[in-house]
Amino acid sequence: MAVTVKTFTSASEAAGALSSDRSARYFGGGTLIMRALNEGDVAISTVVRAQDQALTRIEASGPRVTLGAGVTFARVLAERDLGFLHAPARSIGGPAVRNMGTVGGNLFAPNPYGDFTVALLALDATVTVAGGFGARDIPIEEFLQARERQTGTLVLSVSCTRPASTEAFRYRKIARIKPKGGSVITLAAHVPISGGRIAGARIALGSMAPTQIRARAAERALEGRSLDTASIAAAASAATEGTSPADNALGSAWYRREIVGVYLRRLLSGQE
């Protein structure tokens, strides 16, 4: 059976086509789906596309930032108002991949990819998906936990609150090939400080579990305390709690557990 490509002008029509066909996959930038097709993934029989302008919209002027699911990393990098997302966008692939790869597609990228999603998870983003009766908002963590069941879901946009200061949001991807290798581990931390104390710490990790996850024990170690050597050390030593990394060609599970605390300490203490 040949692969069918279905192109729609509206996102809602595309969402309908996607949810009614188990072998259908949505084509964002093609960096995942075309690779799968080229490598002979016979589970995909239908490719769904949408040429809806809404999917490529960026709203970045206010405190709440919204990125259409079809926004590419190259466009994120071209947007001055999205400076806090430039580090994660730049850490993905080479220029060709960043020109095609999309924010929405990254939510589905399996390990060792999906770095942008790590940043979004630390920013407590909201994922807006097309539902039967219009759009529906899902907290990103909930979305990721059910990711395997989401292949029939069309993501419309992702939104998050801009970090209060540049200092409050930090991101680091550990790769063997710089700048565009797959992730050994990826870390993002949002540590807003109010009155000298951390309020609402968020630490997200990539390649430390089947999907991107939050390091809740490390967050607890920081919450309500000042960002100092002691709290950073406590967070670093709690970094592996709740993680379940796997072995792959880039690193072993053991290695990932060994380094995650080290890099979290460096990230939080502002070391290069």
Contact positions toward other proteins, by CB under 8 A? 1-3, 35, 38-40, 42
Closer CB to other proteins, residue 3 or residue 78? 3
Closer CB to other proteins, residue 80 or residue 178? 178
How far apart are alpha carbons 135 and 127 in whole angstroms?
Answer: 10
Smallest distance, other proteins to C-beta of residue 211, A: 22
For 100, the token pair is 């095609």
Smallest distance, other proteins to C-beta of residue 40, A: 4
- Nearest C-alpha neighbor of 125 from the set 138, 136, 134, 111: 138
The beta-strand segments (E) located in 104-256 are 126-131, 134-139, 155-161, 169-175, 183-190, 193-194, 197-198, 202-206, 213-214
Smallest distance, other proteins to C-beta of residue 23, A: 12
Closer CB to other proteins, residue 5 or residue 262? 5
Beta carbons of 190 and 94 less than 8 angstroms apart: no
Closer CB to other proteins, residue 39 or residue 272? 39
Smallest distance, other proteins to C-beta of residue 101, A: 17
User: For the CA atoms of the chain, what is the radius of gyration?
Assistant: 19
